[in-house]
Amino acid sequence: MSGGPVSDEVFTGGNSTPVFRRGDAVHREAGAWTPAVHRLLRTLRDAGIEQVPEPLGFDDRGREILSFVPGETLADAAPGVLWSEDILRSAAFLLRRIHDASARLVDDGSLAWRSARHEPAQVICHNDFATYNLTVVGDTLSGAIDFDFASPGPRVWDLAYLAYRIVPFAEDSPDAAGLDRAQRLDELIAAYGDGIEAADVVATMVRRLDDLREFTLAREAATGRSEFGDHAAMYERDAARLTTWEPREPYSR
C-alpha cells in the first residue's frame, strides 16, 4: 500500500540557504559552484571516502540532491563526545584523506568555486571544516558535510580552522574549561601529519579569523541580522588572544 506524498524536513540553523531532507536525500539550493562541488564529492568517494555526501543530481526545482550523511552534528553532541581525543584525531585524519584525494583538482581551470583561491594552493579546502559540519553516530565520527564553500588553498588553511573549533580556541565553545589546548593542538597536527608546525597553525588561525570577521560583517550588512556583528566581534577577540599565545603555554580566554 502506498503512502501519501513525502514532505520535506527542513533543517534549521546555519547561516546559509535552506536545506531540506526527503527520505535518505538532502535537497538544497544550487549555484554556479555546484558542478565543482559535485566533482569534488565524486572524486572523494571514488577515492574510498564514504563519509562525505554523494551527489545525486537535481530535483524539479533545480535544487541539488545529495545523499544524507547519518548522525548528529558534532557541535550538538555531549561534551564527552565533542571533546574526546578519539574524535579530534578522527577529524584530523578525515581532513587529511579529503585533502590528499582532492589535490588532483587544484589546477583544473574548468571548475568554478564559490570561495576565493588561497595560495599556495595545495588541495581543495573545505573552508568550513568545523564541529558543526562534522557528524557523529554515538561516539564515532561518521562524516563531513556542507562543501559549498570549497576552493583551492593550502592544507594549513583548513587545519587551522578545524583547530579553532575542535581544540578549541573559539570563545563560544561550550563546556571546554580545563582542556589542555597546547596538547590537543599537538595531537591534532600529529594526526593530520605532513610536518605542519603548531606556530604556523596558530598564525593561520589569526588570518582565518580576520577573513571570517570581514565576511561576517558583510553578511550583517546584507541581511541586517545583528548576530553576525556579535560573531564578528568574537572573531576579533579570539584573533587578538591568539596573536599573543605561544603553543607551549596554557591558553586562557
Give the distance from CA 14 to its chain's centroid.
Answer: 12
pLDDT, position 23: 87
Tell me: pLDDT of 246 over 90: no
Cell numbers 597553525 correspond to 201
- Using an 8 Å Cβ cutoff, are 105 and 41 in contact? no
CA–CA gap between residue 25 and residue 54 (Å, rounded): 9
Q: Is the bond preceding residue 70 a cis peptide, omega within 30 degrees? A: no
Residue 249 banded pLDDT, cuts 50, 70, 90:
low
CA–CA gap between residue 117 and residue 231 (Å, rounded): 24
pLDDT, position 6: 43
DSSP 3-state of 123: strand
pLDDT, position 19: 85
DSSP 3-state of 1: coil
pTM: 0.91
Considering only CA atoms, give the Rg of the chain.
Answer: 18
pLDDT, position 130: 98
Lowest mean per-residue pLDDT among 7-11, 87-91, 92-96, 165-169: 7-11
**Pairing, β 151-153 against β 123-125:** antiparallel
